[in-house]
Structure 1
Amino acid sequence: MDVREAVQTRFTCRAFRPTPVPLGKVADILRLAGRAPSGGNLQPWHVWALAGEALESLKAAVRAHTAAGQFFEGEIEYAIYPPDLKEPYAGRRFRNGEAFYTALGVARDDHEGRMRQVAANFELFGAPVGLFLAVDRSMGPPQWADLGIFLQTLMLAARAEGLDTAPLEAWSLWPKTVRAHLGMPEELMLFCAVALGHADLEAPVNQVRAERAPLEEFATFRGF
């Protein structure tokens, strides 16, 4: 699979098959992702890869809370979205959510159904592997951008291996629980989890593809 195909076929998978992913393949993906560029070659990313009982134990710890209707713990360490999201960003987010819940057959007024789907984030949508990404708290926006480059490289490397992913910032809402289970040092901030595995391509939710803005909406060309 070349890089163009990997980019074109990558999507946020929200239903995985339970097929295990071998340790060697996960290590190869992370090793390749480690080739991602970073300013000053700081390589500010830290990764924990979990599978089997180690992953189930962490999911169970969060599940005990989500089953009771609790979807975050304590003070949120960073805002996933700006508090006053303006256009065109707010519209894009709304349409994405609308397409997603429509595919699931969950109505807008089905609060229980929507909460079940929120909780599914913390089950990693059934993926057999969970990757947890963190960055040192002393780092600034440029290094967070570097972490994003690493994340994208990781997801494309997974596609090259025929695997699918879901980057899940929702896991940042459980930093204390994740830190305790992973032995993550306090100086690191949890950014997200990444579900990794084989997509269940028959699941209706995996038929959804988020819209993309046309080139002329985000790019300006001069001097050509």
Structure 2
Amino acid sequence: MEHNSISQRLVSYRQQLGKSQAEMSREFGVNQSHYSKLESGTKYISYSSLKKFEKAGGDVNYLVTGVHYKTGIVEDCMKRCRTSDGKIELMKALFWLTRQGIMLMHGENWKEANQRVWKYIRLAEEKEQHRNIWRSIRKIEDLTQMKMAERLDINIKRYQRLERMEAEPDAVILNSLYTLFGYSPLIILHENLYYAEEINKCWSEFSDEVRMQLNGVLEQDLKLIALCEQETDIALQKI
């Protein structure tokens, strides 16, 4: 059962960090007794605990999926954007450049070469339309609410509450989302950066020649974003 795998990873991760259960419980925002039950597998890790642990510097992606999250081009560029609007525009630019890079590397077979990235491109487009990450995923997977609930192994009422944003997913649901459909738990935890992992991975796999071409365009985009942020600051000062 995947729940057991998550609790086992939690134990091994705590040991890697060299922390006590008491220290980890504070980072998860629960008391030590509750935390002990997370490690034993008698309780699921809640969404709020995952958020708190990540804020404390923990690798939530590893806990949920077993794969350590690796930073890359996205995080490097984000440091150069000061506003939320600037970051949104940066992500749009990075996504477009990533698609161009894959096309340069694989030609007409680019969609087949990286199905996960293509799925994330569709997710970005769907979310822009629906403004709801769960509904967007369901539309991409072409599933009814009932089928989506069955695949996630939860009852229909719980899934409907998730889609209406009236409930939050625990670690097991997020793992199912990753295992069954290939979506990182980070698409739920931070909606503004829900495809960062895939972009980082793609850029690390680009050839030096392709990366050099893309970096030239990216640098111009970053300068334009910085200029727009500066103009916005000036406009606000005049109000």
User: Normalising by the residue count of structure 1, what TM-score does the alignment of the two structures yield?
Assistant: 0.30
| Larger helix fraction of residues | 2
User: Normalising by the residue count of structure 2, what TM-score does the alignment of the two structures yield?
Assistant: 0.28
| Larger strand fraction of residues | 1
Greater gyration radius? 2
